């Protein structure tokens, strides 16, 4: 061990190992199969990196994510250890060079994606190499009962067997007893030495909030934690982009991340987050596995996760340095129903398993039992919640909850498990207790049991909570072999013989947030501006608009239009980013005219002691053209506008709508090539002069002005775009 610690100091700069790292490393060095269950942030990677350095040959590390491989390879190379990866991003030349280096014994760690491992040519190559051992990272991917099942992981054991009699180390941060058993069976590691660390992360604070006025709640939280590093998880790519944009509009440094972006965009956003150039990443679960950022101060779940395993792993990315870590989840039962709909087309077994995982998720959210106790129980660890109650490190322990005497209820729950021969799950037990006369109960003759109907006075949700709490207090347990089935425990038998007082807690009531409440249907600031803008600020902005118009020798509307002034007087934008997202204003206009408006708004807010903490811009941004790049490129290439519209299947009016959004937000569009084909120069000049001197650029007023001329509203709109491009942008 002296030699190992010397190497630890020499390579990694640490004086000692953490937790179970040392015995795990010794076990691998002794050539024994090893199963490691260790929470996120506890240093799992060290458990195979150190043996790889010390043992002769190359260690093969099977890892599920390319981003994760790159991250770890970069870290190892940075400390002078030759680590490489083999995956689908590499060219044939790169693969051949890598294989030569491995066969020459120059590589200590070879990271391989499971898909690459299964290729025949790679198996033949690895047979020739001197492999020291195989490490299977994120081993929960093997289990179909887990939250991140990957079918290709089930083949790993058979391939390792082809490479020789190698020691195996399997590692995971999330494994329920059921998943643990499945991993060991699949890898034929039932007799492996198991090293299980506590799942308790004492520095993390867990809280569940109702998903009501969620965007306002989110902004309030973000303002309280401004400048701190955080991750916000959403279930859909669309929601990721919406929330990232929403945060930017409200003045926060945020970027989106999901698998739909180009790899270059994903890598840049991830690197900017790691390098602290961006405070917040809004992401799907595609982000975060293996991300080594110790100072993430908060993890927010905007949507309910698919399982407690996923939730635990994602929250585990907070506070890896042992300091503050806030884990906030917004909950609505409608999220659970949405996720159930996603599962409707899955095979029956998978659908049933997903339903059980979602039930666990809703129990966790709605229960008033210590959050930590619930999470640790889920992973098979018993926890005395006294410490959490003293420190208030979860919302259920921090705030007083309503409790009641539960002795008689617990007794009924245990009796239901016992009298149904320990063969059924929560739903069936509750039906028996409540006296439901369904066919399933009749077929088992459970309507004849003494316990049948013993709890008929209380509703289904009450009894689900009772059975759940009876389980949390270890009076009944889960059957590891049969998912969803509940069994008696020794503690339960003792309780039936000698029932004692026990305090149970009443669940949270989320019934008023069952509807989708993410404010997507609320009017934007622009829509409501007519009724709610600050009239004093509006007059000041209007005066500034006219002053700037005189300075630039332009009509006032060319500086900024009245609806935009109203919105500015509603949302008080105090940064360039916030101003750029006002409808009708883009960054182009901000760069040209924004400074004066921002100076005025900031002074007004300060002089009048306006609390902009309460001002939340409930809109993703001003109108944006989704086809901006396409349109600009076609106009730069001087393509006829009819052809531009035809390619997209638009009418000319639809194309003009898109062009106006682009132009009015401050981007120049040079339409001279098109206008000179359809209009006389002198007439064009007359209309440009009209727009320069008119009080408004309203098209109907312009049509009235030129009523005697042969001109259409489409022609006038094109000339208006030319006018704004040349004078206002």
Structural domain contains residue 236: yes
pLDDT at 680: 87
CATH code at position 271: 3.40.50.300
> CA 724, CA 289: separation in Å to the nearest integer?
48
pLDDT at 271: 87
Same domain, 384 and 464: no
Q: Which residue has the tokens 């002795």?
A: 407
Residue 512 belongs to some domain of the structure = no
pLDDT the model gives residue 571: 82
Question: Residue 530: which CATH number?
Answer: 1.10.150.80
The boundaries of the domain holding residue 561 are: 525-614
**Are 104 and 191 within one domain?**
yes
Is the domain of 210 the same as that of 264? Answer: yes
Angle 348-366/460-472 helices, nearest 10 degrees? 90
The dihedral built from the CA positions of residue 713, 714, 719 and 720, taken in this order, carries a sign that is: positive
Report the pLDDT value the prediction gives residue 50, as an integer from 0 to 100.
Answer: 95
Are 35 and 53 found together in one domain? yes
520 domain residue, yes or no? no
Exposure on the CB side of residue 357, measured as CA atoms within 13 A? 26
Do 149 and 91 share a structural domain?
yes
Q: Tokens 């067997």, residue?
A: 161
Last residue of a domain, one of 196, 223, 242: 196
pLDDT of residue 71: 79
CB 92 within 8 A of CB 168: no
Which of 152, 178, 196 delimits the end of a domain?
A: 196
Q: In this structure, are residues 703 and 716 in contact, taking their beta carbons and an 8 Å threshold?
A: yes
CATH code, 456: 1.10.10.10
Position 214 in a domain: yes
Q: Sort 128 into a burial class: Cβ within 10 Å, 0-12 / 13-18 / 19+.
A: exposed
Which secondary-structure segment (H or E) carries 25? helix 21-29
Three-state secondary structure along 550-598? HHHCCCHHHHCCHHHHHHHHHHCCCCHHHHHCCCCCCHHHHHHHHHHHH
Give the CA distances from residue 27 to residues 21, 156, 409, 712, in Å, rounded to whole numbers and listed in that order. 10, 21, 47, 83
Q: What is the C-alpha to C-alpha distance for residues 25 and 560, in angstroms, rounded to an integer?
A: 67
**Does residue 516 sit within a domain?**
no
Rounded average pLDDT per 10-residue block, the chain, 729 residues: 86 89 95 92 88 95 81 89 89 93 95 89 94 93 78 89 93 87 91 92 95 87 92 94 88 90 87 92 76 89 93 92 94 89 82 87 93 93 92 94 93 97 94 94 95 95 94 92 90 95 91 57 40 82 92 88 86 83 80 91 88 59 68 92 91 90 85 90 91 88 88 92 87
Radius of gyration of the chain (CA): 32
Give me the pLDDT at residue 301, please. Answer: 97
DSSP 455: T
Using DSSP's 3-state secondary structure scheme, residue 383 falls into coil
pLDDT of residue 627: 82
Q: Are strands 476-478 and 486-488 parallel, antiparallel or unpaired?
A: antiparallel
Domain count of the fold of the chain: 5
Q: Are residues 389 and 412 in the same domain?
A: no
The answer to whether position 622 is within a domain reads no
Tokens representing 9 are 């100091």
For residues 323 and 253, state if they share a domain. Answer: yes
340 and 256 in one domain? yes
Residue 13 and residue 156 in one domain: yes
232 in the same domain as 328: yes
Q: What pLDDT is attached to residue 613?
A: 61
pLDDT, residue 35, reads 96
- Residue 422 inside a domain? The answer is yes
Query: Which of 562, 585, 614 is the last residue before a domain boundary?
Result: 614
List, edge to edge, every strand of the sheet that includes 34-37: 83-86, 109-112, 58-62, 131-136, 168-172, 34-37, 193-196
* Cβ proximity of 371 and 327 under 8 Å: no
The residues, ordered by sequence, that sit 6+ positions from 728 with a Cβ below 8 Å of its Cβ are 554, 558, 559, 589, 592, 666
Task: Assess whether 357 and 501 both reside in one domain.
Answer: no
Give the residue carrying structure tokens 């239901």: 416
The CA dihedral of 262, 263, 269, 274, to the nearest 10 degrees, is 170
Single out the residue of 623, 625, 604 nearest to residue 615, CA to CA. 604
623 occurs within a structural domain: no
**What global pTM score does this model have?**
0.72
Whether residues 543 and 471 fall in one domain: no
């Amino acid at each position: 061990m002296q030699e190992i610690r010397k190497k630890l100091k020499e390579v990694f700069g640490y004086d000692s190992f953490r937790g179970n790292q040392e015995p795990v490393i010794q076990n691998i060095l002794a050539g024994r199969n090893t199963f490691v269950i260790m929470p996120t942030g506890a240093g799992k990677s060290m458990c195979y990196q150190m043996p790889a350095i010390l043992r002769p040959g190359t260690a093969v590390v099977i890892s599920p994510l390319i981003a994760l491989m790159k991250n770890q390879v970069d870290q190892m190379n940075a400390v002078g250890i030759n680590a490489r990866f083999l995956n689908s991003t590499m060219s044939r030349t790169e693969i051949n060079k890598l294989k030569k280096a491995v066969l020459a014994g120059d590589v200590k760690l070879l990271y391989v994606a499971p898909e690459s491992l299964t290729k025949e040519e790679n198996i033949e190559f690895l047979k020739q190499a001197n492999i020291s051992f195989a490490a299977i990272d994120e081993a929960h991917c093997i289990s179909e009962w887990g939250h991140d099942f990957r079918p290709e992981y089930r083949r790993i054991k058979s391939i390792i067997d082809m490479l020789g009699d190698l020691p195996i180390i399997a590692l995971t941060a999330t494994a329920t007893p059921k998943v643990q058993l499945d991993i060991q069976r699949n890898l034929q590691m039932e007799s492996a030495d198991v090293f299980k660390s506590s799942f308790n992360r004492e520095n993390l604070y867990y809280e569940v909030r109702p998903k009501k006025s969620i965007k306002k709640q989110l902004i309030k939280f973000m303002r309280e934690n401004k400048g701190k590093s955080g991750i916000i998880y959403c279930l859909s790519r669309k929601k990721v982009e919406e929330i990232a944009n929403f945060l930017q509009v409200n003045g926060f440094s945020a970027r989106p991340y999901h698998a739909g972006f180009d790899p270059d965009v994903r890598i840049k956003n991830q690197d900017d987050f790691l390098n602290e150039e961006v405070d917040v990443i809004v992401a799907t679960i595609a982000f975060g596995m293996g991300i080594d950022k110790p100072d993430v101060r908060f993890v927010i779940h905007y949507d309910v996760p698919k399982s407690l395993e996923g939730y635990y792993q994602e929250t585990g990315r907070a506070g890896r340095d042992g300091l503050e870590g806030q884990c906030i989840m917004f909950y609505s039962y409608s999220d659970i129903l949405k996720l159930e709909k996603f599962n409707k087309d899955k095979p029956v077994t998978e659908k049933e398993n997903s339903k059980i995982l979602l039930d666990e998720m809703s129990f966790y959210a709605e229960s008033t039992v210590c959050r930590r106790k619930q999470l640790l129980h889920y992973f098979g660890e018993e926890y005395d919640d006294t410490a959490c109650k003293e420190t208030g490190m979860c919302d259920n322990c921090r705030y007083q909850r309503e409790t009641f005497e539960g002795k008689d209820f617990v007794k009924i729950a245990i009796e239901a498990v016992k009298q149904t021969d320990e063969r059924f799950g929560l739903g069936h037990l509750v039906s028996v207790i409540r006296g439901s006369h369904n066919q399933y109960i009749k077929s088992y003759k459970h309507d004849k049991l003494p316990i049948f109907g013993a709890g008929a006075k209380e509703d289904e949700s009450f009894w689900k909570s009772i059975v759940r709490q009876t389980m949390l207090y270890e009076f009944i347990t889960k059957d590891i072999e049969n998912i969803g089935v509940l069994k008696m425990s020794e503690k339960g038998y003792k309780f039936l013989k000698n029932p004692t007082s026990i305090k149970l807690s009443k669940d949270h009531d989320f019934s008023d947030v069952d509807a989708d409440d993410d404010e997507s249907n609320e009017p934007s600031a622009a829509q409501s501006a007519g009724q709610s803008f600050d009239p004093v600020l509006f007059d000041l902005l209007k005066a500034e608009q006219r002053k700037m118009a005189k300075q630039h020798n332009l009509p006032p509307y060319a500086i900024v239009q009245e609806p935009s002034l109203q919105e500015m007087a509603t949302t008080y934008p105090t940064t360039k980013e916030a101003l750029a997202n006002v409808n009708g204003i883009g960054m182009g206009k901000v760069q040209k005219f924004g400074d004066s408006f921002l100076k005025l708004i900031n002074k007004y807010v300060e002089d009048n002691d306006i609390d902009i903490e309460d001002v939340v811009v409930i809109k993703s941004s001003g109108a944006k053209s989704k086809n901006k790049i396409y349109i600009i490129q076609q106009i730069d290439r001087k393509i006829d506008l009819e052809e531009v519209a035809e390619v997209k299947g638009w009418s000319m009016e639809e194309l003009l709508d898109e062009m106006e959004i682009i132009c009015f937000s401050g981007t120049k569009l040079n339409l001279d090539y098109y206008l000179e084909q359809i209009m006389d120069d002198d007439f064009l000049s007359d209309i440009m002069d009209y727009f320069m001197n008119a009080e408004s650029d309203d098209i109907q007023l312009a049509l009235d002005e030129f009523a005697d001329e042969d001109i259409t509203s489409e022609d006038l709109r094109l000339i208006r775009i030319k006018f704004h491009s040349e004078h206002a942008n």
